[in-house]
Structure 1
Amino acid sequence: MKATVLLVEDDMASLELAAYLLEHQGYRIHRAEDGRQGLDIARRLVDQLDLILSDIQMPNMDGYELLRELRGNPAMAGIPVVAITAFSMRGDEQAILNAGFDGYISKPIDPERFTTQVGQWLSAEPRS
């Protein structure tokens, strides 16, 4: 069985495209429309999640706040968290990595490369 991924994204088109691409490759996907909902899902599925992909700019709880909450909880601190964001100005990627994200994928996502990019942050043995 492929890995279990939590997608946290407030833009429905981006969320559905990413979910479709990953599901097509056999990944098990959980969706959240903002950071608060993502945190709730992560708490419930902590033992199943292999990766969290999160937008940065979202209502209710942004990606940075979500990351702080995840890293502050020992049970969730080890789950890789990758930012998927339209922030692409000089220095944005480094700022995201400096904040503690494990990686960065720029939007709009490239459907031809997306699943390969995601695979970089998944271990050979899924937790789920």
Structure 2
Amino acid sequence: MLVVDDDAINRLVARVLIEARGYSVAEAEDGQEALELFAASPDAFGLILMDLSMPGVDGLTATRALRQSPRGATVPIVALTRLTDPDTRRDCFDAGMNGFLPKPISATGIESIVCLVGHGAYRAHA
């Protein structure tokens, strides 16, 4: 799985919760780094958790760019954000995201996402 967030604490929380469920995690600080990691190894990620508000390339822009590649068109991308209004949700889905996980990140939220799309994510010990 790839966790994209400009906040190191948010990445750490997501990593701990995801790894506790047996999945390996890569991290990116912004959308540009996420695009570079994905381009270098597109089959390495079965799920991307994408923050929306980041400096440089934001989550919506990164998602649109990912959706332009064959593998990027199919990988599940879930929004991570504190913004939960209907307009933000619509923007996420319009950009090509598959789901929405409000912050703060919780064990229940991660569990829900992993249950829904985890079958395509790679387990650390598979």
Please give the range of the TM-score, normalised by the shorter of the 2 chains.
Answer: 0.7 to 0.9
Whole-angstrom CA distance in 1 between matches of 2:2 and 2:121: 17
Partner SS, residue 112 of structure 2:
helix
Partner SS, residue 108 of structure 1:
coil
Whole-angstrom CA distance in 2 between matches of 1:125 and 1:41: 16
**Within-5 A mapping of 1:1-128:** 5-123=1-119, 126=122
TM-score (norm 1): 0.86
Q: Unpaired runs of 5+ in structure 1?
A: none
Residue identity in the other structure for 1:87: L
1:49 deviates by 1.1
Residue identity in the other structure for 1:83: A
Q: CA RMSD in A?
A: 2.0
Instruction: Report how many residues are paired.
Output: 124
TM-score (norm 2): 0.88
Whole-angstrom CA distance in 2 between matches of 1:60 and 1:113: 27
Whole-angstrom CA distance in 1 between matches of 2:74 and 2:108: 28
Whole-angstrom CA distance in 2 between matches of 1:83 and 1:9: 10
Q: Unpaired runs of 5+ in structure 2?
A: none
